[in-house]
Amino acid sequence: MFFRQLEYLVTLAREQHFARAAEACNVSQPALSAAVRRLEEELGISIVERGQKFVGFTEEGVRILGWARQTLAAWDGLKQEASISRRRLSGALRVGAIPTTLPIMSLLSGPYLRAFPEVRQLVQSLSNEEIIRRLDTFELDVGVTYLEDQDLHRFRVLPLYRERYVLLARDASAIDDCAAMSWRDASKLPLCLLTRNMQNRRIIDAAFQRAGVHPNVVVETDSVFALYSNVRCAEIFSIMPHSLLALFEMREELTAIPLVPELHRKIGIVALDHEPAAPIVAAIWKLTLKLDLSPHFNFLQPDQPSA
Q: What is the pLDDT of residues 9-34, one digit of tens each?
A: 888 888 888 888 888 888 888 888 88
Can you give the pLDDT at residue 252? Answer: 57
In the DSSP assignment, the letter for residue 107 is H
Q: Which of 17, 51, 73 is the last residue of a domain?
A: 73
Range 37-61 average pLDDT: 82
Question: Are residue 137 and residue 113 in the same domain, yes or no?
Answer: yes
- When divided into structural domains, the chain yields a total of 3
With cut-offs at 50, 70 and 90, classify the pLDDT of residue 284.
very high
Question: Are residue 251 and residue 169 in the same domain, yes or no?
Answer: yes
Q: Which of 25, 52, 73 is the last residue of a domain?
A: 73
Question: Are residue 142 and residue 272 in the same domain, yes or no?
Answer: yes
Helix 2-15 to helix 59-85 angle (10° resolution) is 120
CA distance 114 to 67: 34
Range 132-140 average pLDDT: 88
Question: Are residue 23 and residue 107 in the same domain, yes or no?
Answer: no
Asked if the model's pLDDT at residue 138 lies above 80, the reply is yes
Q: Which of 73, 106, 123 is the last residue of a domain?
A: 73
* Range with the poorest average pLDDT among 43-47, 95-99, 205-209, 257-261: 43-47
CB atoms under 10 Å from CB of 114, counted, come to 9
Question: Are residue 67 and residue 144 in the same domain, yes or no?
Answer: no
CB under 8 Å to 14, separation ≥6 — which residues?
Answer: 21, 24, 139
3-state SS, residue 171: coil
Strands (E), 37-154: 91-97, 119-125, 142-146
Question: Are residue 42 and residue 169 in the same domain, yes or no?
Answer: no
Asked if the model's pLDDT at residue 1 lies above 60, the reply is no
pLDDT in tens, 264-283: 999 999 998 877 778 889 88
| Residue 301 located in a structural domain | no
Question: Are residue 178 and residue 201 in the same domain, yes or no?
Answer: yes
Q: Quote the pTM value.
A: 0.68
Range of the domain at 23: 2-73
CA distance 150 to 46: 36
Count of alpha carbons within 13 Å of 140, Cβ hemisphere only? 25
